[in-house]
Structure 1
Amino acid sequence: MKKLIDICDIQYGYAYAFDSAYFTENSCYPPLARIRDVKRGYSETYYSGGYSEEYILASGDLLVGMDGEFNIARWKCDGALLNQRVCRLLAKKGTNEEYLRFAMMKVLKEIERRTAFVTVKHLSAKELNKLQLVVPDLSTQNKVAEILSRLEKIIGLRRQELKRLDDLIKARFVELFGDPIKNPKGWDVVKLSECLERIDNGKSFTCDSNAREGAFPAILKLSAATYGDYRPYENKALLDEKQFVESVEVHRGDLLFTRKNTPDLVGMAAYVFETPEKLMMPDLIFRLVTNERMTPIFLWQLINNREFRPVIQGISGGSAKSMSNISKERLKNIEIICPTISEQKKLEGVLDQVNKSKFINQLL
């Protein structure tokens, strides 16, 4: 184990080097590498004021974002400026920089997990200097970095394929039903309550911080339904298997809805095509049970539709800006398009093929 400061030099952006009055969208000036830009590797904001040469970045520099969602990534363009709350890591002799990147990814993920319920996440320079990393000899670092780099490329290709499949589903939805807000095809418009049999609540449990092993009972994390697809591996093991509550177990065919989340992610839905046994819904997730007027797959795609998202976000409330909440009553009263069941079921054939492909990709 070694401290981060012992294996690399850490350069911080100067707090007073950049005046917000000089922020511009004029690309004739150098881009400003801010927190949100670290992961994507480029910036659309430029700086027209004075700056020191020591803060100029080169393509490939290793940057760490120290606020919000902690992350580390390589910068993708020359001539950008190192901004406040972003730092550059320069590996010292005896340290493989790619190994350093992967080791830091692991450490930052652990910090992110520990600060999951902190409203404003912040990593100070003092804390960063003291971070401890596992650092084997250089030969081992080289081998580990090579293996992880290859895996990272494979994962990237798989994610691109999954994204393409998701886009195909969305395109098919619009082709069949049109814009769900403008309703150019003249579908019936009804309250959601007219298409629901009931809305089931999840439960709150005291859990382990780690995922379950085998078929031990577990509670889903909010992230299991946050991004539009069902992720059963996002779970936390119960402390005692006697805590298992059968009534909130997730089953194949369920439609899960995130009733509480950040403002941009609240009210997302995930359809359960397949699921392991003894996984339960937390109290932050509803199960929407549709009646004979609507298929759960159609409602799933409608809720997550880009044009329809403002309707869902518009019914969320709560005093904390970091977390929004949607009540059952408000959800039941939203107005939605309601095509005939025969039209709704046309979407299922496409989804069967797409999800087989997605399942294969996830296995690979």
Structure 2
Amino acid sequence: MMARLGDYCTNASSNIKQSDLEKRDGIYPIYGASGLIKCVDFYVQDKPYIAVVKDGAGVGRVLKLPAYSSVIGTLQYIIPNEDVELEYLAYAMEYMNLAKYQTGATIPHIYFKDYSKAEFNISDVGVQKEITKIFNGLDTLIDAKRQQLIKLDELVKSRFVELFGDPETNPFGWEKVTVGEVCSSIVRGPFGSALKKEFFVEPNETTYKVYEQKHAIQKSATIGTYYVTAEKFDELRRFECVAGDILMSCSGTMGELYQLPEGCEKGLINQALCKFTLNEKILPIVFLTYMKQTIGNLETKGSGIQNIAAVSYVKAMPINLAPMEVQKQFAAFVEQVDKSKLVVKQSLEKLEILKKSLMQKYFG
């Protein structure tokens, strides 16, 4: 039978700030929107529970969390009652897509009073356990595929270090150049006033795509709905981007890189992106991997990452330029790994489609 979420659980708030945790070290885990933050010397919940991201990035995400743990204030506790299995309710809530209840333009929020009205199919406890077992099995397979992708990425990183060495120590003595020397152009997107939302139009045969930060973050050229007229494109032609150009996010989530693929729409970059057009000195995959490693080092050190918003800083970033023969060797290796990744991604996609289909069957 169909039932309202609010009839099978209660909610509770957290007033814990992440900044409050700096000196609170212990054995009890505390979680944020992205998962475990650290272990502290206190806990709020003494039994397993569900948590929902209620504010900011990841709003609506559902987490199943262990006993003797807590969450910070951007999440809220969901406590199931005795008529529903915790994991069953968590899967039902995942099916509900709670993000659709969000309000707030700048910082999205969801409220229990709104999403508690969402309905789902409730079965007796025995059936709930059987259904939960099915989804647990699927999640195990999905997690295994994701781990395979992570390991393949780590394989590429390992091969890069093997061929090129540590970028900071340059053990092979490669020629030291700057990012500016391996690019024919580096362009930061136009000021916001030059590309405001009122300039955007519906796409047609004569319009040009506006590439945004999310294209770099999500590694996709097909998302996004912003387009400009041919006249506006001509006015901002300096910010034109085409297949082969590399985009980098320069605002908010910084340092995400993406090479525009063959067949992508011709367009412009917006103010949150920087565009690299490489010259013949470096292969794209070498540049991408080198930049990712360099930016990762900046993040690890906790300083300098904000500087990549400035073209002058990026142009001066050092690169140890390996011979083209070594670059091609690395590119061939990555090509083979990418073939393996494609097989894993296709398998992962099938599992995720199956999960969505079963959620519709059991909870819809």
TM-score by length of 1: 0.70
In structure 2, relative to structure 1, the CA distance for the partners of 1:194 and 1:360 (3 Å cut) is: same
Q: For structure 1, list consecutive stretches of 5 or more residues without a partner in the other structure.
A: 318-323
Q: Which amino acid counterpart does residue 115 of structure 2 have in structure 1?
A: L
In structure 2, relative to structure 1, the CA distance for the partners of 1:360 and 1:266 (3 Å cut) is: same
Partner of residue 164 from structure 2, selected from 177, 201, 215: 177
Asked if 1:162 corresponds to 2:130, the answer is: no
Mapping of residues 60-79 of structure 1, within 5 Å? 61-69=49-57, 70=59, 71-75=61-65, 77-79=66-68
1:303, 1:309 within 8 Å by CA — same for their partners in 2? no
Aligned to 2:10: 9
Higher helix share: 2
Aligned to 2:362: none
In structure 2, relative to structure 1, the CA distance for the partners of 1:242 and 1:302 (3 Å cut) is: same
Equivalent residue pairs, number: 328
Greater RCO, 1 or 2 (C-alpha within 8 Å, sep 6+): 2
Structure 2 CA distance for aligned equivalents of residues 348 and 285 of structure 1? 25
Secondary structure of the corresponding residue to residue 58 of structure 1: coil
Asked if 1:289 corresponds to 2:277, the answer is: yes
Partner of residue 33 from structure 1, selected from 6, 30, 33: 30
Aligned to 1:358: 341
Aligned to 1:187: 174
Mapping of residues 116-265 of structure 1, within 5 Å? 118=106, 121=107, 123=109, 127-131=111-115, 134-138=118-122, 152-200=139-187, 202=189, 204=195, 206=197, 218-226=209-217, 230-233=219-222, 235-238=223-226, 245=233, 251-258=242-249, 260-262=250-252, 265=253
Task: Give a deviation string over 1:94-118, Cα, whole Å, max 9, x none.
Answer: 79503432145x2236639x64xx3
Structure 2 CA distance for aligned equivalents of residues 177 and 185 of structure 1? 7
In structure 2, relative to structure 1, the CA distance for the partners of 1:191 and 1:362 (3 Å cut) is: same
Cα shift at 1:7: 4.5
In structure 2, relative to structure 1, the CA distance for the partners of 1:313 and 1:241 (3 Å cut) is: farther
Cα shift at 1:188: 1.4
2:11, 2:76 within 8 Å by CA — same for their partners in 1? yes
Q: Which amino acid counterpart does residue 217 of structure 2 have in structure 1?
A: T
Task: Give a deviation string over 1:272-307, Cα, whole Å, max 9, x none.
Answer: 455544565433223211222222221111100157
Task: Give a deviation string over 1:310-347, Cα, whole Å, max 9, x none.
Answer: 19986665xxxxxx761222221222211222222221
Structure 2 CA distance for aligned equivalents of residues 97 and 11 of structure 1? 16
Structure 2 CA distance for aligned equivalents of residues 191 and 362 of structure 1? 35
Q: For structure 2, list consecutive stretches of 5 or more residues without a partner in the other structure.
A: 350-364
Aligned to 1:97: 89
Secondary structure of the corresponding residue to residue 38 of structure 2: coil
Mapping of residues 258-277 of structure 1, within 5 Å? 258=249, 260-262=250-252, 265-274=253-262, 276-277=264-265
Cα shift at 1:191: 2.3
Asked if 1:347 corresponds to 2:339, the answer is: no
Cα shift at 1:186: 1.2
What's the RMSD between the two structures over aligned residues? Answer: 4.6
Cα shift at 1:195: 1.5
Structure 1 CA distance for aligned equivalents of residues 143 and 198 of structure 2? 32
Aligned to 2:39: 45
Cα shift at 1:56: 2.5
In structure 2, relative to structure 1, the CA distance for the partners of 1:176 and 1:314 (3 Å cut) is: same
Secondary structure of the corresponding residue to residue 183 of structure 1: coil
Q: Which amino acid counterpart does residue 285 of structure 1 have in structure 2?
A: L
Cα shift at 1:254: 2.7
Secondary structure of the corresponding residue to residue 258 of structure 2: strand
Secondary structure of the corresponding residue to residue 68 of structure 2: coil
Structure 1 CA distance for aligned equivalents of residues 22 and 322 of structure 2? 52
Cα shift at 1:187: 1.3
2:30, 2:70 within 8 Å by CA — same for their partners in 1? yes
TM-score by length of 2: 0.70
Q: Which amino acid counterpart does residue 165 of structure 1 have in structure 2?
A: L
- Percent identity at matched positions? 19
In structure 2, relative to structure 1, the CA distance for the partners of 1:243 and 1:236 (3 Å cut) is: farther
2:92, 2:120 within 8 Å by CA — same for their partners in 1? no
Partner of residue 58 from structure 1, selected from 39, 42, 47: 47
Aligned to 1:321: none
Q: Which amino acid counterpart does residue 226 of structure 1 have in structure 2?
A: I
Structure 2 CA distance for aligned equivalents of residues 5 and 66 of structure 1? 16
Structure 2 CA distance for aligned equivalents of residues 332 and 43 of structure 1? 35
